[in-house]
Amino acid sequence: MDRCLRDGLAHEYPCDAHHPGLESLGQVLSGQHAGRRGADMDGDAPHDPVHEAMVDREHLMTRSWIQFMLRPNQSNRSIEIASTILRVAFGCMIFTIHGWHKAIDAYTHFLNGSEWTLAQEIRAMGLPFPGVHAGFATVVQLIAPVLILGGLATRAAAGVLTVLLCGAIAQNLHESRDPQLALIYTIVCVSIAIRGSGRFTLDALIWGDPSRAQSNPVPKISQT
């Protein structure tokens, strides 16, 4: 168990002599820290090396958790997992909260001739061809989130959706509504567009995992 813990800490935070909080677990259990602390203790106090080793191990794990929370993460896998959670959650929210109900509204308009709320809002902004703009916005908010969720053409889908979300910010400002939600959506979408496809995406299945390609670069052929 101690070896597994030591290997896990070494994988996340490689041991470095310049970082006093990264001593190996074997040194802690060998009694070096216990002996150093024991020299400062009263000679009449009982000496329990097992208890001191357990305390030192708790201190080491506490320092490791503090470093885990404060230091930049060096694990590419953790970054991939975090970006995947953000991408999937963002795609689900845009599709279910915004895209789906706009599609239902458009379907009802063309089926029964009812009023199209989105087209009316675009007309109120003074833009030409409100039906075309409303149809474009509906299609983008219905398809782009699905592509982002699955990681297919991620950058292209996020880029188009970013342009649309900028229009949503302008619409909220025009109608004196709070643009905070649209602004947050835009920031997240821009982040996804910059990050692009990761390891757990359909793009990675089609084009290959970029992280493996970086870890195994193609050797250069020297020209003589």
The answer as to whether 184 is a domain residue is: yes
Helix pair angle (130-150, 154-174), 10° resolution = 140
| Owning domain of residue 191 | 76-210
93 shares its domain with 61: no
Q: Name 86's Cβ contacts closer than 8 Å, sequence gap at least 6.
A: 188, 191, 192
Residues 106, 176 within the same domain: yes
189 in the same domain as 96: yes
Tokens 């699905």 identify what position? 146
Measured CA to CA, the distance from residue 86 to residue 96 in angstroms comes to 15
Long-range CB contacts for residues 203-207, cutoff 8 Å, separation at least 24: 203/151, 203/152, 203/153, 203/154, 204/151, 206/152
- Alpha helices for the chain (secondary structure H): 2-12, 25-29, 32-40, 49-70, 76-93, 100-112, 117-124, 130-150, 154-174, 180-195, 202-207, 210-215
In this prediction, residue 207 carries a pLDDT of: 80
Q: Is the pTM of this model over 0.75?
A: no
Mark whether 183 and 103 lie in a shared domain.
yes
Is residue 215 in some structural domain? no
pLDDT for 2: 47
Residue 20's pLDDT is what?
45
Residue found by looking up tokens 């149809």 in the block? 135
| Residue 219 domain-assigned (yes or no) | no
pLDDT of residue 25: 43
108 and 21 co-located in one domain:
no
- Give the C-alpha separation, 165 to 175, whole Å: 15
pLDDT at 61: 80
One digit per residue, the tens of pLDDT, for the chain of length 224 reads 445 444 544 444 444 444 444 444 445 444 444 444 554 444 555 567 777 777 778 778 887 767 655 655 455 788 888 889 999 999 999 999 988 988 888 888 888 878 888 888 888 888 888 888 899 999 999 999 999 999 999 999 999 999 999 988 998 898 888 889 999 999 999 999 998 878 888 888 888 766 555 555 544 555 54
Q: Work out how many domains the chain is built from and give that number.
A: 2
Let me know whether 86 and 189 are in one domain: yes
Same domain, 93 and 60: no
